[in-house]
């Protein structure tokens, strides 16, 4: 987001999303979002139109289901859940059918992030005591630890699949945004700020990283270059704004905010304009991801 040098030609019109099966067949591109909500008394994964239409519970489970991530082809949604007592990474079809445990580990496995080609999933796990970034094949096989210093969370892939951005507290306990190669090499602090910088999201064109930071006293959604240059506040609101997620064409972002006295999912343009409440519910709605 930062430089905002991207030229966005012909933005697609948003239409209502109707859940018709795996991948949302028949829906216009980018017309739906998936998010976590507590409107049923516990955290569930819902899908709705980008204007909040037709909210549909996909998980329908008494456990906590959170952190949804849409697969690049739109056919699957990864999420984390404690339905097996500890937190595991699950995948399900985009209509909520066939939920499958990928991690099957006694540790807490959370925050799934698909690689751009859909063949791998990065995630966080405390299976080595501290929380670290791991990567596995999309079927759950061959889990590999990528980080080891400090506590590391919130992985997000670059669009070419060669790098991963993440959050680390290895710098005297301060949360910073780091990048590394997809094999875990060349781990580099790019935010370098005394504030807490969290929840990075790599732009679809590969030139920017959105993140949340409290460097202005409250949490705002910022963008910066992939080297940390030119940080820009997009939300500019006295409330706390967090959890940015790019639309797949890079033209808009979804984010979470408590400006309405509870957590809601909003969308905005890449310049921070036209901030619109999508979920409009008295419960907690957060952790949105945009459908392909």
Q: How confident is the model at residue 129 (pLDDT cuts 50, 70, 90)?
A: confident
Q: Which of 36, 35, 38, 18 is nearest to 26 (CA)?
A: 18
Q: How far is CA 45 from CA 32, 210, 236, in A?
A: 13, 23, 28
The Cα 194–Cα 192 span in angstroms is: 7
31 is written with which tokens? 């017309």
**Residues 83 and 89 sit within 8 Å (Cβ to Cβ):** no
The confidence score (pLDDT) of residue 26 equals 33
The confidence score (pLDDT) of residue 28 equals 57
The confidence score (pLDDT) of residue 292 equals 84
% of the chain at pLDDT higher than 90:
89
Q: What is the number of helices (H) and of strands (E) in the chain?
A: 0, 24
The Cα 10–Cα 108 span in angstroms is: 43
In a domain, 11, yes or no: no
How large is the average pLDDT for residues 82-86?
A: 95
Q: What is the pLDDT of residues 114-125, one digit of tens each?
A: 999 999 999 999
Q: What is the pLDDT of residues 141-184, one digit of tens each?
A: 999 999 999 999 999 999 999 999 999 999 999 999 999 999 99
The mean predicted confidence, pLDDT, of the chain is 91
pLDDT at 12 over 80: no
How large is the average pLDDT for residues 8-23?
A: 32
How large is the average pLDDT for residues 228-249?
A: 98
In a domain, 71, yes or no: yes
pLDDT at 20 over 80: no
Lowest average pLDDT, out of 17-26, 55-64, 113-122, 206-215, goes to: 17-26
The Cα 92–Cα 99 span in angstroms is: 4
How large is the average pLDDT for residues 268-279?
A: 97
- 13 burial class (0-12, 13-18, 19+ CB within 10 angstroms)? exposed
Residue with the bigger pLDDT between 217 and 14: it is: 217
pLDDT at 9 over 90: no
The confidence score (pLDDT) of residue 178 equals 98
Q: Which of 84, 39, 45 is nearest to 68 (CA)?
A: 45
The confidence score (pLDDT) of residue 14 equals 30
In a domain, 125, yes or no: yes
Q: How many domains does the chain have?
A: 1
In a domain, 246, yes or no: yes
271 is written with which tokens? 């310049």
The confidence score (pLDDT) of residue 25 equals 35
pLDDT at 5 over 90: no
The Cα 125–Cα 210 span in angstroms is: 23
Does the model's pTM come out above 0.85? Answer: yes
pLDDT at 273 over 70: yes
Query: DSSP secondary-structure letter at 49?
Result: E
How large is the average pLDDT for residues 86-111?
A: 97
Domain residue limits at 60: 32-290
**Residues 143 and 103 sit within 8 Å (Cβ to Cβ):** yes
pLDDT at 94 over 50: yes
- End-to-end CA distance of the chain: give it in Å, rounded: 19
What strands, in cross-sheet order, belong to the sheet with 232-233?
197-202, 208-213, 220-225, 232-233
Q: What is the CATH number of the domain that holds 236?
A: 2.120.10.30
The Cα 234–Cα 254 span in angstroms is: 12
Question: Which residues make Cβ contacts (< 8 Å) with residue 158, sequence separation at least 6?
Answer: 116, 164, 165, 202, 206, 226
How large is the average pLDDT for residues 21-48?
A: 79
The confidence score (pLDDT) of residue 19 equals 34
pLDDT at 126 over 90: yes
In a domain, 64, yes or no: yes
**Residues 107 and 80 sit within 8 Å (Cβ to Cβ):** no
In a domain, 77, yes or no: yes
């Amino acid at each position: 987001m930062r430089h905002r040098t991207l030229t966005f030609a012909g933005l697609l019109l948003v239409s209502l999303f109707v859940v018709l099966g795996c991948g949302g067949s028949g829906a216009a591109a980018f017309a739906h979002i998936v998010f976590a909500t507590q409107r049923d008394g516990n955290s569930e994964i819902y899908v709705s139109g980008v204007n909040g239409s037709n909210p549909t519970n996909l998980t329908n489970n008494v456990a906590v289901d959170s952190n949804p991530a849409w697969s690049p082809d739109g056919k699957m949604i990864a999420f984390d859940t404690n339905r097996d007592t500890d937190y595991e990474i699950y995948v399900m079809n985009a209509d909520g059918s066939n939920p499958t445990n990928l991690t099957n580990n006694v540790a807490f496995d959370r925050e799934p992030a698909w690689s751009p080609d859909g063949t791998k999933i990065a995630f966080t796990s405390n299976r080595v005591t501290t929380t670290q970034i791991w990567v596995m094949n999309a079927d759950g096989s061959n889990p590999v630890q990528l980080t080891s210093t400090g506590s590391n969370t919130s992985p997000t892939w670059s669009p070419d699949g060669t790098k991963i951005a993440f959050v680390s507290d290895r710098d005297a306990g301060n949360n910073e945004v780091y990048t590394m190669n997809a094999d875990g090499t060349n781990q580099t602090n790019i935010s370098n700020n005394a504030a807490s910088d969290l929840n990075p999201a790599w732009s679809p064109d590969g030139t920017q990283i959105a993140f949340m930071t409290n460097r202005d006293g409250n949490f705002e959604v910022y963008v910066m270059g992939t080297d940390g240059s030119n940080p820009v506040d997009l939300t500019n609101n006295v409330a706390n704004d967090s959890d940015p997620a790019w639309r797949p064409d890079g033209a808009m972002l979804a984010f979470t905010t408590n400006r309405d006295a509870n957590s809601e999912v909003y969308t905005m343009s890449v310049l921070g304009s036209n901030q619109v409440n999508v979920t409009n519910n008295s419960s907690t709605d957060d952790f949105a991801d945009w459908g392909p």
